A and B are shown apart, each in its own frame.
Chain A
Amino acid sequence: MSTANTENIDFEPPAPWLTPSRRKALIAAVFVAVIAAWQLVVSALGISHLIFPGPAGVARSIYDVFQSGEVWPHLWVTLYEILAGFALGAFAGFLLGALIGQSALLELVLYPYVVAFQTVPKVAVAPLFVLWFGFDTTSKVVITATIVFFPVLANTIVGLRSAPRDQIDLMRAFTASSWHVFRMVRLPHALPYVFAGLDIGIVLAVIGAIVGEFVGAQAGLGYLILQRNFSMDAAGMFAILIVLSAIGIVLHGLMKAIARRVVFWADAFTDLSRGT
């Protein structure tokens, strides 16, 4: 273990009996248990499938929505909103974070506004964005971007300031300019933090897109949920929610995979993502 990593928190190692194959079996067993408990509660309490559908009903609904192909156009719209909003918000968050992270003065002047902006619930301003940018995807992209913005910004600032004093001193002793120090030390040091922010951001982006669609939309998975709500199709709503969760899980997994490759030296990613 390198000395540079000694301040990293060590997580409790997995128990020795938990071999990879047993771990997989455990994950599968918990999944089956959750589904079984769900079915058990629904049938034991005799809840109407109109209010709380059982897993079988939901599974059929998922099958139907893919079988009929109804889900695809909505899925593409929402995915576009998520990715475009994420890209926009992440880019803006990183850029402003890089500026603020470099200058204590900028932080003093700008950060109060950033915090004030973050404190405003995005759900509350979503109708405004729809008013400004219309009912199509643009307003959803903007709402998503505002949600992704802050975690990326905050992590970038912290990351840029995390470079050890010693390392910066050494660079300066080798006659490095501040640009050298930024590019060769501060920025790479910030990357694991930036990726932590991006990982939070990509999951929040899913929420952002749906919030936007709830306010007013003509397409998208959020629109589909509302539509099924109006027609009292609880199982259909569950099906879309599960599709949304799947999108979130896939995007989160992609983000982790990218992070592991790009910031391969940062232990946190390899340690935390073990077994996922």
Chain B
Amino acid sequence: MNAIVQFPPRRTTLQEASGAVPALRFEGLHKTFRSKDGADVVALHDVSFSVERGEFVTVVGPSGCGKSTLLRILAGLERASRGTVELGGRRHTGPSRDVGVVFQAPVLLPWRNILDNVLVPAQIQGRDPKVARERALHYLHLVGLAGFETKYPGELSGGMQQRVGIARALVNDPMLLLMDEPFGALDAMTRETMNVELLKLRERTGATIMLVTHSIPEAVFLGDRVIVMSPRPGRVTKVIDVDLPAARTLELINTERFGSHVRDIRTNLNASGGLDG
């Protein structure tokens, strides 16, 4: 299981090869919605950021801060009113083969078994079925679902379904993994377990991840950097470097340094009229 087969490599630019180009860069993103009564609602206001390769960035903010809109724009599901998004140095406006997505609901196809669900993106993108199958099995193993390949989604718990969703997002070896509150629907205990496992998975795959959450502790626990956003209009109010060890365990949550990061973010959110905490 160590030597994972690879799809034929994508074309890499010289800059990319030298590693000088960030995995994801977006600049001056604005998004304005027209509400039903005709008024313009600013969902995002001048949001810029750059995610390095292999980095885990979390986005935290209260509901209505535009963090989900941001993620949908990055996934190519919505267009920004203004601003640019670059993936590996290339402009990108629509959905991209280089992006894997995980939503809050696992949204598996109930008529496909687990393996076939993981294979969905590979089939859409016309990948070599044999290679895709091996990669799907590999990622199912990594998310702890080896042996569940022929089960159907209805037979799995919510947490297990979400693991399938993560394996599915990884099957095409995307340059960037976008996660929108992936564990928001799970109970607190399962959620903590999933957080620890997500970090392990990231360590093993070297994936570049951007994860949106409304839980401050989750943002600190997972992120190398935390983007703090505030609502109306949605904008970045602060970026926090999390100086916690790379190998993180749940005990970390009780340390003073972890607590100070959480307090830091909470103060920042309160100052910008964000929330309660």
Interface set of A (CB-CB < 8 Å, partner B): 1-5, 164, 166-167, 169-176, 180, 184-185, 188, 263-265
Contacts and interface: CB of A to CB of B under 8 A. Distances in A.
Given A5-B154, A174-B120, A175-B95, A167 B76 contact: no
Contact of B101 (A1, A173, A180, A264): A173
25 contacts: A2-B153, A2-B161, A3-B105, A3-B161, A3-B185, A4-B153, A5-B154, A169-B72, A169-B103, A170-B101, A171-B120, A173-B75, A173-B76, A173-B95, A174-B101, A174-B120, A174-B172, A176-B124, A180-B124, A184-B109, A184-B123, A184-B124, A185-B109, A265-B152, A265-B154
A188 B109 contact: yes
A1 B109 contact: no
Interface string B185-227: 1000000000000000000000000000000000000000000
Interface in B117-156: 120-121, 123-125, 152-154, 156
Contacts of B124: 171, 174-176, 180, 184
A188 B105 contact: no
Nearest to B76: A173
Contact of B154 (A2, A164, A180): A2
Nearest to B178: A173
Interface in B63-89: 72, 75-77
Given A166-B107, A173-B95, A173-B99, 4 more contacts: A2-B154, A3-B158, A166-B103, A174-B95
A1 B156 CA distance: 8
Interface of B: 72, 75-77, 94-97, 99, 101, 103, 105-111, 120-121, 123-125, 152-154, 156, 158, 161, 172, 185
Contacts of A1: 154
A84 B123 CA distance: 37
Contacts of B95: 172-175
A211 to B, nearest CB: 37
The 8 closest A-B pairs by CB, nearest first: A265-B110, A174-B121, A2-B154, A173-B101, A173-B75, A167-B107, A176-B124, A166-B107
B113 to A, nearest CB: 10
Nearest to A176: B124
Contacts of A174: 95, 101, 120-121, 124-125, 172
- Chain B residues touching A, majority SS: loop
A30 to B, nearest CB: 34
Contact of B125 (A2, A175, A184, A263): A175
Contacts of A2: 108, 110, 153-154, 156, 161
A3 B94 CA distance: 29
A4 B96 CA distance: 26
- Chain A residues touching B, majority SS: helix
Contacts of A170: 101, 103, 107
B168 to A, nearest CB: 8
B88 to A, nearest CB: 16
A145 to B, nearest CB: 29
A167 to B, nearest CB: 5
A165 B41 CA distance: 22
B191 to A, nearest CB: 15
A224 B101 CA distance: 64
Contacts of B161: 2-3
A176 B105 CA distance: 19
Contact of A169 (B77, B99, B120, B152): B77
A2 B154 CA distance: 5
A3 B120 CA distance: 19
